[in-house]
Amino acid sequence: MKTLFLKENIQRFVDSYFKSVLFMLNTYNIPFEDVVCDHIGCLLHDSIEFDEVTSELNTYTKLIKSIELHNRRVKVFQLDDPINSEFVLPKIEIFEPKPEADLKQLRFGIEHVAFYVKDWDIFKSKHQSKLPIIKEGSVDKSLFMKTEIVNTIEIEFRSDKLGELD
């Protein structure tokens, strides 16, 4: 999967995915002025691939966050030049599978796209009931909601920008 993260390939990778994301946001009548694209989250196969993708991303990004979450490594990279597609993509998050995960049940590659919500309480009261939300939670001060997977798309709505307020 390392080749998907080569600088010369990442634009096409994101373009094809974001067309489906745009369709999903339109389907649920989420106005673009209510959200800002924050990152794509990518699940990698194992620690070897994680290290290879990290090396590749280091050639055109800046590491802004590196943590262990749920017994796996997670890194967030700020792109030197944000990717302009249906949305402007400023960051890429990569993570290893959880140790207890059944690898046959996972979706490798882009696992989700995350949007920063400018006013969390208003957004939630206005849109939550029409979205297929399957998970809500918080990590430290960050609040989030995730949709079910619809046509391979999972959207995370966040109260903050990943890696920028820590």
| Four-way CATH pick for 2-158: 2.60.40.180, 2.40.10.480, 3.10.180.10, 3.90.660.10 | 3.10.180.10
Side by side, which strands form the sheet with 35-43? 61-68, 73-84, 88-95, 35-43, 109-117, 155-158, 142-147, 133-139
First to last CA, the chain: 29
Backbone angles phi, psi at 86, to 5 degrees: -60, -30
Q: Letter for the amino acid at 115? A: F
Asked if residue 33 has pLDDT above 60, the reply is yes
Q: Write down the residue that tokens 């699940």 correspond to.
A: 43
pLDDT tens-digit series, residues 36-57: 999 999 999 999 999 999 999 9
**Residue 54 C-alpha from the chain's centroid:** 16
Asked if residue 23 has pLDDT above 90, the reply is yes
Asked if residue 166 has pLDDT above 60, the reply is no
The number of helix segments (H) and strand segments (E) in the chain equals: 3, 8
DSSP-derived 3-state class of residue 101: coil
pLDDT tens-digit series, residues 78-132: 999 999 999 999 999 999 998 888 878 888 889 999 999 989 999 999 999 999 9
Nearest-angstrom CA–CA distance, 79 and 119: 25
pLDDT tens-digit series, residues 133-143: 999 999 888 89
Global pTM value:
0.93
Tell me the β-bridge partners of 76. Answer: 65, 93
| 92 CB-contact burial (10 Å; exposed 0-12 / middle 13-18 / buried 19+) | buried
Nearest-angstrom CA–CA distance, 69 and 95: 9
Tokens for 20, please give them: 């489906």
CA dihedral 37→101→66→134, nearest 10 degrees, is 30
